[in-house]
Structure 1
Amino acid sequence: MGAGTPACTGAGTDILSEAIGSVRIGRAEACRKAESGSWGMRFAAFAGSGVHIVLRGSAWLVTATGRPRALKAGDVVVAPFGAETGLSHAPRLLSHLPPACPSGNTRSPDPTDVEFLHAAYLLDRGQVHPYLRSLPEVLTISPGHDRSSQLRSLTDLLAADVTDVQPGSGATRPALLDLLLTHALRQWLKQDGDVDRPDIGDPAIAVALREIHTSLDKPWTVQQLSEAVGMSRTAFTKRFTVVVGKPPITYLTGWRLSYGARLLRETTAPLATIARQVGYSTEFAFGAAFRREYGIAPGRFRDLQSRQVPAAQVRGV
């Protein structure tokens, strides 16, 4: 296994894990808001994944399609691929809601009717993982008092992190958002198990994903991957494409570049080292592939990320 490549084993190597990992190169942003009386707000569509969480009170979720949905304290709304959403004190048309205020936290010392937490990974480069795009535009999760204690605990931790910003929030916020998205999607899959979704636990494909993710520096071919799972090349390609949403080599290339982008963002390793870690023989080959995927050279991408100042708002969650 190349140094720095993700070590995925067993059940951890599934489409849900890798889908969430794919948005991790985005900016993790969050804010907390409180409202009273007659109110409403519309969150524009964006590239990434995000959540609304009702901390206190009740509200209505409004989307471009479907009927408004009533939300109560504790409910979590996930926008897997950043669809436009709205929140309001009463059922309304999405087009009738004003744009969400671009400011950060809007908490009041006086009692308010409702309080929300909004958080998202905003992708400036790249695309949302196909698995996330295969899900409905919004997912609603209602954790019961006797279940999803982890989800409630993560909500409390993220709310506290947003309310009282301390040194190190650049590390804690993405970690909490990762866990929150994972637990929310797990809970949704449990409560909506009859929904026609790809089987993210497919054993053969799980093995192939594990091979890719634990040996990302290996010059994989479709033939080698199909042999690793004991299938013919044709059958493997068809099955992988159905489960993952992309052909094997397309997925492999996308993951290499996505992980390379994370290394550029999170480490100071030389470009040549990163190129080898993600399976490219030279930094020039890596750079050419990176520019095709992200429209920017790796060095320029790293420079922009290092100088990036987090926006003061959460857009489109």
Structure 2
Amino acid sequence: MDAISSAIAALRVGRGTVRRFRQSGAWGLNYSGLSGSGFHVVLRGTGWLLTADVPPVELGPGDIVLITSGADHALASEPRPLRNLPAVDLGPAEPDPGPADFELLCGAYRLAPGRYVHPFLAALPDPIVVPSSGRLDSVIGLLDEEQAAGLVVDATRHALLDLMLARALRRWLDTADWSDPTDPEITAALQTIDTSPETRWTVRELSRRAGLSRATFTRRFAAAVGRTPTAYLLAHRLDQAARLLVETDSTLSTIARRTGYSTEFALAGAFRREYGIAPGAYRRKHR
């Protein structure tokens, strides 16, 4: 599994949302205080991407804004301070029909408080602007049409969100003058965990595979990821379990085996401590 696939798979523990916005006159949409990753695609008109630390960026039809780690940002009809714009309403209401000066399609995986995006996404700039190229028009059109028709069930929504994020990220990585700041040995260790969460990894074994002493590996892992190897492994396994609960009909004992737990009772106890809810109740709530 490559880094992009691992990162996007980890996002699916969040709630996938798609919404279209139509704006006219003087307008502004402030996306602040959110957690997760997503994108905005300009469908019609021009607007400005606003952040706290970077000069405003003008956007036109086909331009994509990637939000890799939930950075505070806004879109507006003209440059203005971010703090002066009202928070966007992320409810399910559809915009008024009819023409508008500016039309925008937004998609995201919104993570619950306390959940973190994958370290690969956290290492990228945030936000990222991917200029219009036409290469993603078919994906954008399909996502927009099905969303507008009310046909986007969870499975379809997640598949299209995954495809959109993966292709936009790949296009940016192929063209950007960006130097990857990640630690290659730690990146390899993350790949190992992401690919085989069911394996009973120890810090000693992971550090041996990375070619580092245990102390050096632990220090560099924590610096790169923000958590110890053990904490990351635990969180990744439970995020994987949460996804399997929602996306499959697998029994709890099967999910336990796929995520490195000896019994379903061990998984249930760890899951309840992490998510504050029993696995069965989590499945019913999110399905």
TM-score, normalised on structure 1? 0.79
Aligned residue pair count: 285
> Which of 126, 133, 136 pairs up with 2:122?
133
CA contact (8 A) 1:68 1:91 kept: yes
Letter in 1 for 2:278: A
CA contact (8 A) 2:15 2:111 kept: yes
Tell me the percent identity: 43
Per the alignment, in what secondary structure is the counterpart of residue 233 of structure 2? helix
Structure 1 residue 116 displacement after superposition = 0.5
Following superposition of structure 1 onto structure 2, how do residues 1-317 of structure 1 map, counting pairs within 5 Å? 8=1, 12=2, 14=3, 16-101=4-89, 102=91, 104-106=93-95, 108-109=97-98, 111-124=99-112, 126-131=114-119, 132-144=121-133, 149=135, 151-166=136-151, 169-195=153-179, 197-198=181-182, 202=184, 208-228=189-209, 232-237=213-218, 240-241=221-222, 244=225, 246-306=227-287
Q: Deviations over 1:142-173 (max 9, x none)?
A: 1335xxx1x3332222112212222x632111
CA contact (8 A) 1:219 1:279 kept: yes
Structure 1 residue 215 displacement after superposition = 3.5
Structure 1 residue 195 displacement after superposition = 4.4
Q: Deviations over 1:239-283 (max 9, x none)?
A: 555555544333222211110111111223232222222111122
Structure 1: how far apart are the matches of 2:128 and 2:45? Answer: 19
Structure 1 residue 235 displacement after superposition = 5.0
Per the alignment, in what secondary structure is the counterpart of residue 120 of structure 1? strand
CA contact (8 A) 1:45 1:84 kept: yes
Aligned-residue RMSD, C-alpha: 2.6
Structure 1: how far apart are the matches of 2:236 and 2:220? Answer: 18
Q: Which structure would you say has the larger RCO, counting Cα contacts within 8 Å and 6 or more residues apart? A: 1
Structure 1: how far apart are the matches of 2:277 and 2:172? Answer: 36
Per the alignment, in what secondary structure is the counterpart of residue 39 of structure 2? strand
CA contact (8 A) 1:42 1:94 kept: yes
Structure 2: how far apart are the matches of 1:294 and 1:193? Answer: 39
CA contact (8 A) 2:19 2:106 kept: yes
Structure 1: how far apart are the matches of 2:250 and 2:92? Answer: 36
Q: Which moved more, 1:297-306 or 1:257-266?
A: 297-306
Letter in 2 for 1:154: V
